Amino acid sequence: MQGVRRRVTPPPGLSTAEQQIILLKAKFSRTRRSNLRNISEFDVFRSERDLAPYAVRSFENGGRRRINEPSHTFRSPFQRDRDRVIHSRAFRRLDGKTQVFLSGSGDHFRTRLTHTIEVEALARTVARRLGVNEDLTETIALAHDLGHTPFGHQGENVLDRLLREHAGTGFEHNQQALRVVDELEEKYPGFEGLNLCLEVRRGLVKHRGEGECRLDDEILPAQPGIEAQIADLADDLAYYGHDVDDGLDAGLLKDQELLTNVRLWRLARDCALKNGERISQPRIIAYTVRCLIDNLAGDAILNSMRNLQQAAPQSAEEVKRADGRMVDFSAEIKPLTKELRDFLFTNLYKHSEIARINARMGKVVEDLFHYFLSHPESLGRRSRRRVGQFSPALAVADYIAGMTDSFALQVHKQYCGGG
């Protein structure tokens, strides 16, 4: 004879996460241990038990874009989203896209993929120190550049101008990343896109300026969630370090000019010399880059901790309703990051050698756009199907935006006679 099943009621005063753990633990104890789905759910709740109150929990993911899916045996919703991003075609193509220097122009220069990996590593470190959801932070970081064009921001600027002229919309790589995961990836039966969780998709809507910012016809809160803020800051932090490194490696930036004009570089050099006074010049530069990244990451973590302690948000929603971002550099360091950024724009991004290559690559993008707009039958198979689904100009922009640098040059040579 079976006993009467007693209802478990969590004691008062517990957080939502703690109540969920108690209820799930009771459910788990009543279930055969061979039921792996319940084991997985219990492990997820247990692993998130000690997260900060302002962190997003896996069971607060907002639901999926297209259809709700059953729980996975071994992975949380955000872990599944991370894996979907990593296994996407758009993610693999990042390896062939420009960060600053044209993909393939040097063995050691960063590409969009290596940049993304560095962003992800930094984001996880900050998320762990702030006690928030690492899986969500990691997923946003890995997906943040999926919408980037070939030839870096030059390709983006050209497509933006052309879409404004031909479709009245414009092009922005963060919005394109959302379009990639929502519409353009084709991997699953029954729906387009990757069917990611709402909190991941919200994290890709990066720039929330003045006025309303919408997703799925809903107005988004003034601020991104804490995990999205971390991914955003990690993006800036990563390129501060590796663009200096690549610029020095290419000979376009000079160590002495950085020491003279960039206070953050001088602080990093002082840190490097304290730890290795007799190391050679190439190594002292590499170690200075390391100290630059470490100094910036440390400042961001400590300042964000202070911001969170002062604001004391008790939920993820309170972070989103705040007047400003919780994750940021300190008031002392933030002006110095602007000084570094301005130096990079003047001396690297607008360097005559980079400008010459950008002008040539911009013409490649423009030639391809006009050619495919006049010859949609030459588009790739998937893009040809979208000509009738979207506007022709948008379908062409999607196709070009997805290209790697080398493929864009190959197709340009094939159809436009480019050399």
pLDDT of 249 > 90? The answer is yes
What pLDDT, on the 0 to 100 scale, is given for residue 44?
Answer: 67
What pLDDT, on the 0 to 100 scale, is given for residue 319?
Answer: 96
Q: Average pLDDT over the chain, rounded to whole?
A: 89
Average pLDDT over residues 247-270: 96
pLDDT of 29 > 60? The answer is no
pLDDT tens digit string along 114-158?
999 999 999 999 999 999 999 999 999 999 999 999 999 999 999
Domain boundaries, the chain: 1-50, 77-354
What pLDDT, on the 0 to 100 scale, is given for residue 19?
Answer: 65
Q: How confident is the model at residue 188 (pLDDT cuts 50, 70, 90)?
A: confident
What is the CATH T-level fold of the domain 77-354, as seen in this structure? Hypothetical protein af1432 (1.10.3210)
Higher-pLDDT residue of 274, 151:
151
pTM for this model (two decimals):
0.88
pLDDT of 34 > 50? The answer is no
Backbone angles phi, psi at 311, to 5 degrees: -80, -30
Average pLDDT over residues 208-228: 85
The residues facing 218 across adjacent strands are 215
pLDDT of 208 > 70? The answer is no
pLDDT tens digit string along 400-411?
999 999 999 999
Average pLDDT over residues 103-116: 88
pLDDT tens digit string along 378-404?
999 889 888 888 889 999 999 999 999
CA 259 and chain centroid, separation: 31
Q: Which of 47-51, 269-273, 290-294, 309-313 has the lowest mean pLDDT?
A: 47-51
What pLDDT, on the 0 to 100 scale, is given for residue 5?
Answer: 52
pLDDT tens digit string along 36-84?
445 456 666 667 788 999 999 988 788 898 888 888 888 889 999 999 9
